[in-house]
């Protein structure tokens, strides 16, 4: 179990997040909390900020004519929510995200849905070119409030070993 409190002085503590390379175990599953209930505002803002002009995401009258009869949450927002939810568990200490593979949107997401996430450690190996660091691969799954899977993706991250993270080297972090 990873401790998320660092003693910084007598009776003084600082919350910490993330895992070092050594803390990952293949097969472990981290349930990410809190969940996020998607609002119509969230969907419209993300859609328009990213210049997605498909009316399925922000035009209710257009969406009424679709098989869904209402606006769909834009899929990159669902992905962004799940990445964000996973940070404190899997990538808070990451040096770099190395890539994502096999991104799948397996069910529609609508305003009012609550998204839950979990990440399973699929693989880890020490870096051959960067001593004190390693590569961790996770599979993240997103579910709605009905336990329907809505999104999955694999992510590779470069993770420092204990004593090699930025916060280990920067004072007052």
| pLDDT per position as a tens digit, 115-133 | 999 999 999 999 889 888 8
**Range of 29's domain?**
18-39+74-165
Our count of domains for the chain comes to 1
Is 57 part of any domain? Answer: no
Is 149 part of any domain? Answer: yes
Q: How many CB atoms lie within 10 A of CB 152?
A: 15
pTM of the model: 0.86
> Two tokens at 74?
């834009």
Is 28 part of any domain? Answer: yes
> Measured between alpha carbons, how far is 170 from 168 in angstroms, rounded to an integer?
6
Place of tokens 């993770």: 159
Total residues belonging to the chain: 173
Q: Can you list the residues of the chain whose pLDDT is less than 70?
A: 1-9, 11, 13-16, 168, 170-173
Is 62 part of any domain? Answer: no
Is 48 part of any domain? Answer: no
Q: What is the DSSP string of the chain?
A: ----EEEEETTEEEE-----GGG--TT-EEEEEEEEE--HHHHHHHHHHTT---GGGT-HHHHHTSTTSSPPPPHHHHHHHHHHHHIIIIITT-SEEEEEEEEEE-S---TT-EEEEEEEEEEEEE-SSSTTEEEEEEEEEEE-TT--EEEEEEEEEEEEPTT-SHHHHSTT-
CATH number at residue 126: 3.10.129.10
Is 63 part of any domain? Answer: no
Is 108 part of any domain? Answer: yes
Phi then psi for residue 9, to 5 deg, are 170, 170
Is 93 part of any domain? Answer: yes
């Amino acid at each position: 179990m990873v401790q998320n409190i660092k003693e910084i002085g007598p009776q003084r503590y600082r919350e910490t997040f993330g895992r070092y390379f050594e803390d990952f175990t293949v097969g472990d599953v981290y349930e990410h909390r809190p969940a996020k209930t998607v609002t119509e505002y969230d969907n419209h803002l993300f859609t328009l900020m990213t210049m997605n002009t498909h009316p399925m995401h922000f035009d209710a009258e257009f969406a009424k004519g679709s098989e869904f009869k209402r606006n769909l949450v834009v899929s990159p927002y669902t992905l962004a929510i799940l990445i964000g939810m996973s940070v404190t568990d899997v990538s808070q200490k990451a040096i770099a995200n190395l890539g994502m593979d096999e991104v799948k949107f397996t069910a529609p997401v609508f305003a009012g849905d609550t998204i839950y996430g979990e990440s399973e450690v699929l693989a880890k190996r020490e870096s051959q070119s960067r001593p004190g660091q390693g590569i961790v691969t996770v599979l993240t799954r997103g579910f709605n409030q009905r336990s329907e899977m809505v999104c999955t993706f694999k992510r590779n991250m470069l993770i420092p070993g204990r004593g090699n993270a930025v916060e280990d080297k920067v004072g007052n972090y």
